[in-house]
């Protein structure tokens, strides 16, 4: 991991070489993030709740998903932009190095501008928690931590599966966006507010429901099922097939040629 942290420091130093650009990009990301935030607030000016979920419960759900997505944009940008490694031929060089491929891909890029989104997600989470009557205990603290961790894991898994797709099609932007940006916008609301088909898909195919729906039910007191508190652990199992798919694609990679 020493190599990974050294690469982060190198990328940060590189971004700060153009400080005006970094600051302007940082501020623009703040504006973009708050448009999502205000959309939810505007929605609740017309409705008191959505299928029993109040505004601050939805904002908590929103902040957890945004945190996980932003975390990967900052610290796993190389996986998110994997198609660039294929197109530019740089992945061939990674294969020649005696280090873990996924670690090398992680080291290849980062985007510290998106730290602004991480901070904003935590701020929105703080606002939501301050306005919810949570009966705090050790299990709810663990549930919140697991929800944040699983949000990071699920997006890393999706990025990794989308990277595997690039081995066969070179560019995987649109497919990636369906499940990352598209999934993010859907999962920022409690999955239970959607039709049963969507609930099943985002529970058993892409398990967003185990990130911020079932554990959310326990956390805010809508369910007493203690198993819901630990359901985010199941998301770790989702990461296993994503890693297998990535290596499966890599075995069939035949280089981009000259």
- Counting the structural domains of the chain, the total is 1
For residue range 49-108, list pLDDT tens digits in order: 888 899 999 999 999 999 999 999 899 988 888 888 888 888 888 888 888 999 999 988
CA–CA distance, 111 with 103 (Å, rounded to integer): 16
Give the DSSP H/E element, type plus range, for residue 110: none
Domain contains 112: yes
Domain contains 163: yes
pLDDT value at 157 more than 90: yes
Average pLDDT over residues 149-153: 94
pLDDT value at 170 more than 70: no
Domain contains 257: no
Of 205, 113, 127, nearest to 197 (Cα)? 205
Please, what is the average pLDDT of the chain? 87
Domain contains 91: yes
Domain contains 103: yes
Quote the pTM value: 0.90
Domain contains 258: no
Quote the domain boundaries for residue 173: 2-251
62-82 in b/e form (b: 16+ CB < 10 A) is bbbbbbbbbbbbbbbbbbbbb
Q: How far is CA 41 from CA 22, 57, 85, 130, in A?
A: 29, 12, 39, 16
């Amino acid at each position: 991991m020493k190599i990974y942290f050294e690469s982060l420091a190198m990328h940060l130093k590189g971004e700060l070489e153009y400080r005006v650009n970094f600051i302007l990009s940082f501020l623009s990301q703040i504006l973009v993030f708050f448009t999502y935030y205000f959309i939810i607030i505007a929605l609740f000016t017309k409705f008191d709740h959505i299928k029993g979920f109040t505004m601050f419960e939805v904002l908590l759900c929103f902040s957890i998903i945004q945190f996980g997505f932003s975390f990967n944009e900052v610290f796993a940008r190389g996986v998110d932009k994997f198609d660039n490694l294929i197109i530019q031929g740089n992945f061939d060089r990674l294969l020649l190095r005696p280090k873990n491929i996924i670690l090398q891909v992680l080291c290849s890029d980062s985007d510290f501008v998106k730290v602004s989104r991480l901070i904003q997600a935590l701020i929105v989470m703080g606002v939501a928690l301050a306005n919810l009557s949570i009966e705090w205990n050790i299990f709810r603290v663990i549930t919140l931590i697991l929800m944040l961790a699983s949000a990071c894991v699920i997006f890393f898994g999706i990025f990794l599966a989308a990277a595997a797709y690039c081995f066969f099609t070179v560019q995987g932007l649109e497919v990636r966006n369906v499940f990352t940006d598209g999934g993010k916008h859907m999962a920022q609301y409690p999955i239970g507010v959607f039709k049963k088909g969507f609930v099943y898909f985002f529970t058993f195919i892409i398990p967003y429901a185990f990130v911020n729906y079932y554990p959310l039910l326990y956390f805010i007191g809508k369910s007493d099922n203690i198993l819901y508190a630990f359901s985010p652990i199941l998301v770790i199992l989702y990461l296993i097939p994503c890693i297998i798919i990535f290596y499966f694609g890599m075995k069939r990679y035949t280089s981009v040629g000259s």
